[in-house]
Amino acid sequence: MKRDFLALSQYTKDELDALFALTKELKAKQKQGVEHHILKGKSVALIFEKSSTRTRISFEVGVFQLGAHPLFISSATSQMGRGEPIRDTARVMSRYCDGVMIRTYGQEIVEEFAQYATIPVINGLTDLFHPCQIMADLFTVMEQKGSYEGLTVAWVGDGNNMANTWIEAAAILGFDLRLACPRGYEPDKNVMEWALARATSAITITHDPAEAVRGADVVNTDVWASMGQEAEQKVREKAFAGFCVDDALVALAKPDCMVLHCLPAHRGEEIADSVIEGPRSAVWDEAENRLHVQKAIMATLMK
């Protein structure tokens, strides 16, 4: 039976830990120059309805390193952009390819695609979730902290797809999570209800960044206006005043805390230049680990 990777809630703690273990193995092989063509002879379609830097590069390079062939497909230059039904595209691609990654807007798009596809479907980003990024973030935390267990993660900023996925991760894996969001910009209520119904750890929402960050092991943020929200930029700048992850805010966390940002960053808005370039920043390791985590996901689903 095929498995998809649409949201972390589809997976158990043991299954996510197995992906982390494979990520570590594949990263070591890549660093050592050891060939690992687990998907030799296969093809993976990479569908982009949203523009991308890290997602496109990391998936294309990852598919290549696994010995498979990546096919970049833009909705602007395919029949999807002319209104072909998602179910039709899913059925046809299932006859050609061995897996699909989709970076799009609505979560319902990847879910409908997965419903009609007979090959694994990976969520490369939707407005609701960003599971590949959070897996990379957590793997980076494990590399630097040894484990995610017993840690406190602070999220500062918009209750967006990143925040929603952090909530899922905390509920499944059992670390404490504090989210600081401006009023009216809290995470998805359904995601929060799902998490609180099963969480064994503390998952809390506050409107005070200092309260979320104080004593935290990990401090994480993202842009205030995501793709598709550019028209709200000025309004959001006012709403998010005081939510910049600057040196004063980071000083409230543990002395050995690490700072994450999924990129691209608007330096001077949600994060200070001195923080992203500072000694506590793990942003570049985090960006690299997208490659290794996604390889583990593809290898597990498509081998």
Q: Known catalytic residue: 262? A: yes
C-alpha pair distances (Å), 210 with each of 157, 240, 247, 253: 12, 14, 12, 9
To the question of whether residue 208 is assigned a binding role by annotation, the answer is no
Of the residues 56, 103, 236, 261, only one is catalytic, namely 103
Q: Known catalytic residue: 229? A: no
CA distance 300 to 18: 9
To the question of whether residue 201 is assigned a binding role by annotation, the answer is no
DSSP state of 188: P
CA distance 122 to 45: 10
Helix 86-96 and helix 107-116: axis angle, to 10°? Answer: 50
Of the residues 133, 137, 158, 181, only one is catalytic, namely 133
Q: Known catalytic residue: 10? A: no
CA distance 137 to 148: 10
To the question of whether residue 263 is assigned a binding role by annotation, the answer is yes
To the question of whether residue 262 is assigned a binding role by annotation, the answer is yes
To the question of whether residue 107 is assigned a binding role by annotation, the answer is no
202 SS3 class: coil
To the question of whether residue 227 is assigned a binding role by annotation, the answer is yes
Half-sphere exposure of 234 (CA within 13 A, CB side): 1
To the question of whether residue 161 is assigned a binding role by annotation, the answer is yes
Closest by CA position to 163, among listed 185, 136, 183, 193 = 185
Q: Known catalytic residue: 127? A: no
Of the residues 217, 290, 292, 294, only one is catalytic, namely 290
Q: Known catalytic residue: 222? A: yes
To the question of whether residue 55 is assigned a binding role by annotation, the answer is yes
Of the residues 56, 130, 261, 292, only one is catalytic, namely 130
Of the residues 97, 244, 257, 262, only one is catalytic, namely 262
CA distance 50 to 56: 10
The CA angle 72-34-70, to the nearest 5 degrees, is 10
Q: Known catalytic residue: 95? A: no
Of the residues 4, 98, 222, 244, only one is catalytic, namely 222
CB 254 within 8 A of CB 215: yes
To the question of whether residue 152 is assigned a binding role by annotation, the answer is no
Q: Which residues contact 216 (CB under 8 A, 6 or more apart)?
A: 152, 153, 154, 178, 253, 254, 257
Residue with tokens 């509920």: 171
To the question of whether residue 181 is assigned a binding role by annotation, the answer is no
To the question of whether residue 220 is assigned a binding role by annotation, the answer is no
Active site residues: 103, 130, 133, 222, 262, 290
User: Can you say which residues are annotated as belonging to the binding site?
Assistant: 52-55, 79, 103, 130-133, 161, 222, 226-227, 262-263, 290
User: Can you say which residues are annotated as belonging to the binding site for carbamoyl phosphate?
Assistant: 52-55, 79, 103, 130-133, 262-263, 290
User: Can you say which residues are annotated as belonging to the binding site for L-ornithine?
Assistant: 161, 222, 226-227
